[in-house]
């Protein structure tokens, strides 16, 4: 079994150390799950893994449904539309996803802070952002 397969298994089982699980890790494991599963299945697996990590950290309130689903949808769109063959290529061509505030192009900060957005996926209320240029 590859190292990433083991890491995905540990993530889904809640065995990763939440203290060391940074935003880049969220994006990377989201990318890896989306490389293996449909968007719907990846959302279920990723959400479950994040909830386990948040609970393990003693902070189940950290889980945020809108941020989780929106990031996965964005990663999936970029993954399918782009030419990246693997995570390093994807990361290189999608640096904006490594910024936690990336979703503010579509979501207002007030909307993302809302209890509703934390509990249920919400569509963005801001006008759509201009298209992201595709890598050459």
Whole-angstrom distance, CA of residue 41 vs CA of residue 18? 22
Whole-angstrom distance, CA of residue 116 vs CA of residue 121? 8
Residue 129 lies in a domain: no
* Per-residue pLDDT tens over the stretch 42-93: 999 999 999 999 999 999 999 999 999 999 999 999 999 988 899 999 999 9
Number of domains composing the chain: 1
* Per-residue pLDDT tens over the stretch 41-55: 999 999 999 999 999
Whole-angstrom distance, CA of residue 53 vs CA of residue 58? 9
Residue 135 lies in a domain: no
pTM greater than the 0.85 cutoff: yes
Residue 134 lies in a domain: no
Domain with 68, as residue range(s), is 3-119
């Amino acid at each position: 079994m590859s190292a990433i397969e083991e890491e995905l298994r540990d993530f889904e089982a809640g065995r990763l150390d939440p203290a060391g699980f940074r935003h880049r890790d969220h994006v990377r494991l989201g990318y890896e799950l989306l490389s293996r599963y449909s968007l719907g299945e990846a959302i279920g697996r990723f959400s479950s893994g994040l909830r386990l990590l948040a609970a393990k950290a003693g902070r189940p309130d950290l889980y945020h449904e809108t941020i989780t689903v929106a990031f996965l949808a964005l990663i999936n769109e970029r993954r399918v539309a782009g030419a990246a063959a693997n995570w390093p290529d994807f990361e290189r061509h999608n640096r904006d996803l490594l910024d936690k505030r990336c979703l503010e192009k579509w979501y207002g900060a007030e909307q993302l802070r809302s209890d509703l957005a934390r509990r249920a996926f919400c569509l963005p209320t801001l006008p759509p952002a201009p298209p992201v240029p595709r890598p050459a």
